[in-house]
Each structure stands twice: as C-alpha cells, then as structure tokens.
C-alpha cells in the first residue's frame, strides 16, 4: 500500500497541484459556483410545479391544483428567468471571474464576455406554424441562451476576455489627461480593448459563417458539446471521474474543486437538460448528471464519510475516535466532509485509503445501473449540496420514493465497506503511539 501511495504522490499529486493553480480553471469553477442562486431558484420552481402536478394526477386534488395555478405560473416565469438564460448568466460570470483572477476591470470584462457569446450564436429562430417549420430571421431562439449554449459561452467568453485583457495590459487605450470620475475613467480605459475584442470575435464568426455556412455556436453544439455530454453518460467515464476526485482528496486537495470545470461543463449541462425536460413535462434525456454524484455517492462529503462516522460510533472502542465522530456527525449529515477528512484524519492515512477510494466507486456503479434500468428516476432537480441524505435524493429525483430506497442501500453498502477498516484502525492505533500515527506522512 505504501508503494501505491508513493506512486500517487509522485505522479498524480503534482498534476493536481498544477491544475489547482491554473487561473482560467479557477475562474471557470468560480463562475459555476457564483450561479448557484440561479440554479437553486430554477430547481425550486421545477419542484413546486412538479408537486402541484403530482397532487392533481396521483391524488386527485383538482381543487388544490386549480387554486395553485398562480404559483405554477410564477414558477414558469422563474424558470424562464433562470435556466432559460443560464448561458447568458454564465458568460457574464465567467468574464467577471477571469478579470478577478487576472486583475482586470471586472465589469468591462463581464460585458465583453457576454457580448462575445451573443455574437457567436445563431440570430434566427425556428417555430412550428400549421405543422410546418418556419424560420424567423433576426431573432434569437431562447434555447440557445440556456445550457444548450454553455460550451459556446465558455469558448467565446474566454476568447473575448483574452483579447480584451491582452490589449488592456498592453495599455492599448485612450489616455485622457483630464481628471474624470472613476466610472468614466474606467469606461474610457476599457473602450479600445473592448472594441478590439468584440470586433475580433465578430470577425472570427463571420469568417466561420462564410467558410462553412453555419453559425459557430451551432457547430460547437453538434460537434463538441453534445458528443462530450453523451460521452459523460458512459459507465467508465463516470467511474473514472469519481475515482479521480477521491484520489485528489486523499492528498488533501479538494477534488471537486480541481475537477469542477469537467464536472460542471459535462454533467451540469446534462443536469440542466433534465431540468428543462422536467419543466416541459418531457422524459429527462440523461441518466447520470452532476447531482447524481452528490446524492448517490458523496453523502457526508467525498468518500461517503457519513458512514465512516457511523461505523466509528458503532464499532470503535477508542475514545479519541469516538469524540471526533461525535463532533463531525452534524456537519456530515449536511454533507460537509472536511471535519472528518482532516480531523480523524482520512487524508494521507493509509489505513483508510482503500475504503476512501472504493466506497464512492461502488456506490456510483450500483446507482448508475439502477438508473440505467429505470428502477429510479434520474436526477432532474438541482438541490443544495448541504441537503441531507435520503431527503436530497427524494427531491433531486422529483419526488421519487424509490430514490429513498436507493439512497438507504447506498449508505448500507458504504457502511459495510468502511466498518472492517474502522475495526482495523482501532487495532493499529492500539499498537502505535496515537500521536505519531495521526501525523504519519508518506
């Protein structure tokens, strides 16, 4: 086992450290995080509408459903102002976070990023009229502003910022000698860099349209985004990402933070697709999405450590372990795993390496195939990461009681995996000095 830890430390840990220091990746992660209010608000709207619909269809509460129609209409409006414009909000947030990390004008960068994204999507919409498809020119299809255009927002938002920032740092700007208010001075400083960036993105899109006859955003959607999202539905891909998150966390690096650009770009796009389908009353198209990891594998935090805490309380005879478990139980219930990961510790503790890597992989594998077989609804609602187990899966799967059963089975599996290692840790600690045992580094 020490050889495995040494290999991971020599080859995997340096890569994780370098990824965690890439400012563009950090900005991408922070942009997704900053949109959490939009994500939760839109998901809450889906939950409300689904609850009222379920009450009418399954319980026959027609009067209740009729009385709640204003709330359904409000939920539709909330969805339209959140998820249906997700890519727009993301482009704005990405430009802001990039400017924050690269120390530029944040507001100007956000506007440039949003403009660059808007330049890159098709300015026509298709509607059905008397059974025929009619193209309306000089109009935006609202679906292109949703997660459908997410990759376009990432690519052209980043490219627009890069051009803007290069001009800005080169001091390619208007130099005014008069004393102006700060807001006006900042606007003049960003004027030329923003114009160069926006016209450059416009030129790129024009040349692409002339050469291919397609809009860049449409091409990006069909050739890159959708294949990547479909690739993310593969069993091997899901397991690999789960394992990598655990490996990074074992060395004390937030694996979710390091891999969030991948997780969010691929699986959050799929999740938002499921949310949109649920809002429209359609069948969710994706089996495994971003929230699936949280509700079926990372209960208590990365590694399913809530069950580690329970196993310590059940089997451990050591007062120090039990004290740590009692302290970390409340955070663990709300999926905050850092106290147990760093307090026991699990991080860099060779005794817990195998269960820490194995537990989420087994839970993901089991839950994935249960979802593929249609025995439980796929995740189609975004719930806060602090939502406790059992409740979180029930809400995330749109009030599917089978998600409660699956969640309980997953936790029992995790408990069975963690328990032998908790017993072994007791025996090892009894034969070692606890102080040196806790601080052993490899």
Tell whether 410 and 272 lie within a shared domain.
Answer: yes
| Inside any domain, residue 177 | yes
**pLDDT band for position 439 (50/70/90)?**
very low
Q: Are residues 132 and 257 in the same domain?
A: no
Is the pLDDT assigned to residue 318 strictly greater than 70? yes
Q: What phi and psi values does residue 137 have, to the nearest 5 degrees?
A: -85, 165
More confident residue, 206 or 188: 206
- Those residues whose C-beta lies under 8 Å from the C-beta of residue 192, and which sit 6 or more positions away, are 167, 172, 173, 174
Quick one: pLDDT at residue 435?
47
Please identify which residue in the block is written with the tokens 């026509």: 124
C-alpha span between 245 and 260 (Å, rounded): 10
The pLDDT of residue 417: 93
Three-class secondary structure of residue 139 per DSSP: coil
Number of domains in the chain: 3
Q: Is residue 230 part of a domain?
A: no
Q: Which of 165, 193, 219 is the last residue of a domain?
A: 219
Q: Which of 191, 219, 247 is the last residue of a domain?
A: 219
Instruction: Give 198's pLDDT tier (boundaries 50, 70, 90).
Output: very high
For the chain, what is the total number of helices (H) and then of strands (E)? Answer: 23, 2
Residue 224 located in a structural domain: no
Examine the domain organization and report whether 269 and 366 are in the same domain.
yes
Q: Which domain holds residue 272?
A: 236-438
- In whole angstroms, give the CA distance from residue 394 to residue 389: 9
Report helix, strand or coil for 253: coil
Query: How does pLDDT run across 326-335, given as a tens digit for each residue?
Result: 988 988 898 8
178 and 294 fall within a common domain: no
> Which pair of tokens denotes residue 209?
């349209």
Exposed/middle/buried for residue 277 (C-beta within 10 Å: 0-12, 13-18, 19+)? middle
What does residue 133 show for φ and ψ, rounded to 5 degrees?
-85, 125
DSSP 154-209: HHHHHHHHHHHHHHHHTT-S----S---HHHHHHHHHHHHHHHHHHHHHHHHHHHH
DSSP-assigned letters across all residues of 372-415: HTTSSPPP-S---TTSPTTHHHHHHTTS-HHHHHHHHHHHHHHH
In a domain, 125, yes or no: yes
Q: Is residue 29 part of a domain?
A: no
Same domain, 247 and 375: yes
With 80 as the cut, is the pLDDT of residue 17 above it? no
In this predicted structure, what is the pLDDT of residue 37?
85
Percentage of the residues of the chain whose pLDDT score is greater than 90: 30
Are residues 326 and 193 part of one domain? no
Q: Are 407 and 295 in contact (CB under 8 A)?
A: yes
pLDDT in tens, 248-299: 888 777 778 778 878 888 898 898 888 888 887 788 999 999 999 999 988 8
CA distances from 313 to 24, 358, 362 (A): 42, 21, 23
Confidence of residue 442 (pLDDT cuts 50, 70, 90): very low
Percent over 70 (pLDDT), the chain: 87
124's enclosing H/E stretch is strand 124-129
Q: What span, in angstroms and rounded, lies between the C-alpha atoms of 186 and 339?
A: 44
Are 330 and 387 contained in the same domain? Answer: yes
Domain membership of residue 137 (yes or no) is yes
Boundary (domain end) residue, out of 219, 254, 278: 219
Give the pLDDT of residue 437. 41
Residue 225 inside a domain? The answer is: no
**Same domain as 296, residue 201:** no
Helix (H, G, I), strand (E, B) or coil at 368: helix
pLDDT band at 405 (very low <50, low <70, confident <90, very high): very high
Q: What is the pLDDT of residue 224?
A: 83
Q: 302 and 249 in contact (C-beta within 8 Å)?
A: yes
Q: In this structure, what are the phi and psi dihedrals at residue 289, rounded to the nearest 5 degrees?
A: -130, -175
- pLDDT for the residue numbered 1: 53
pLDDT at residue number 165? 92
Q: Is residue 382 part of a domain?
A: yes
Q: What are phi and psi of 356, to 5 degrees?
A: -65, -35
Question: Tens digits of per-residue pLDDT, 48-84?
Answer: 888 888 777 667 788 888 888 888 889 888 888 888 8
What average pLDDT does the chain have? Answer: 84
User: How high is the pLDDT of residue 441?
Assistant: 39
Residue 141 has what pLDDT? 65
Mean local confidence (pLDDT), 155-184: 82
Both 334 and 424 in one domain: the answer is yes
Work out the average pLDDT over 148-156. Answer: 86
pLDDT at 372: 93
Mean pLDDT, to the nearest integer, of 367-393? Answer: 90
Please tell me whether residues 75 and 93 are part of one structural domain.
Answer: no
66 plus 162 within the same structural domain: no
Q: Can you give the pTM of this predicted structure?
A: 0.77
pLDDT of 237 > 80? The answer is: yes
Distance from the first to the final alpha carbon of the chain: 11
Instruction: With H, G, I as helix, E, B as strand and everything else as coil, classify residue 367.
Output: helix
Looking at the fold, whether 167 and 280 belong to one and the same domain comes out as no
């Amino acid at each position: 086992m020490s050889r495995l830890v040494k290999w991971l430390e020599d080859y995997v840990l340096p890569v994780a450290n370098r990824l965690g220091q890439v400012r563009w990746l950090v900005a991408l992660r922070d942009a997704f995080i900053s949109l959490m209010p939009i994500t939760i608000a839109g998901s809450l709207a889906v939950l409300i509408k689904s609850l009222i619909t379920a009450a009418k269809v399954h319980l026959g509460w027609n009067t209740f459903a009729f009385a709640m129609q204003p709330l359904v209409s409000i939920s539709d409006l909330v969805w339209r102002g959140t998820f249906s414009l997700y890519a727009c909000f993301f482009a704005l947030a990405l430009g802001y976070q990039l400017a924050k990390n690269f120390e530029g004008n944040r507001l100007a960068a956000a506007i440039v990023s949003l403009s660059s994204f808007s330049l890159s999507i098709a300015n026509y919409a298709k509607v059905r009229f008397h059974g025929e498809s009619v193209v309306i020119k000089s109009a935006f299809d609202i679906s292109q502003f949703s997660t459908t255009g997410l990759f376009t927002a990432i690519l052209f938002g980043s490219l627009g910022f890069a051009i803007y920032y290069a001009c800005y740092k080169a001091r390619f700007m208007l130099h005014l000698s008069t004393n102006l208010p700060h807001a006006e001075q900042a606007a003049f400083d960003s004027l030329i860099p923003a114009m160069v960036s926006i016209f450059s993105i416009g030129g790129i899109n024009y040349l692409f349209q002339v050469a291919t006859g397609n809009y860049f955003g449409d091409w990006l959607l069909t050739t890159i985004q959708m294949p990547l999202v479909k690739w993310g539905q593969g069993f091997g891909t899901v397991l690999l990402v789960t394992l990598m998150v655990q490996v990074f966390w074992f060395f004390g690096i937030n694996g979710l933070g390091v891999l969030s650009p991948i997780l969010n770009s691929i699986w959050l796009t799929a999740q938002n697709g499921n949310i949109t389908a649920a809002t429209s009353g359609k069948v969710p198209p994706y089996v495994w999405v971003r929230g699936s990891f949280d509700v079926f594998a990372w209960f208590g935090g990365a590694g399913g450590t809530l069950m580690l805490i329970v196993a310590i309380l059940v089997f451990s005879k050591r007062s120090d372990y039990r004290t740590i478990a009692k302290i970390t139980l409340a955070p663990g219930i709300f999926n905050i795993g850092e106290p147990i990961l760093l307090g026991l510790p699990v991080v860099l503790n060779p005794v817990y390496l195998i269960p820490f890597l194995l537990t989420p992989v087994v839970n993901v594998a089991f839950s994935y195939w249960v979802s593929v077989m249609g025995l439980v609804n796929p995740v189609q609602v975004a719930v806060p990461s602090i939502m406790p187990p059992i409740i979180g899966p029930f809400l995330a799967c749109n009030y599917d009681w089978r998600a409660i059963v699956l969640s309980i089975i997953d936790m029992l599996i995790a408990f069975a995996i963690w328990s032998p290692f908790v017993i072994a840790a007791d025996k090892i600690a009894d034969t070692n000095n606890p102080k040196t045992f806790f601080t052993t580094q490899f």
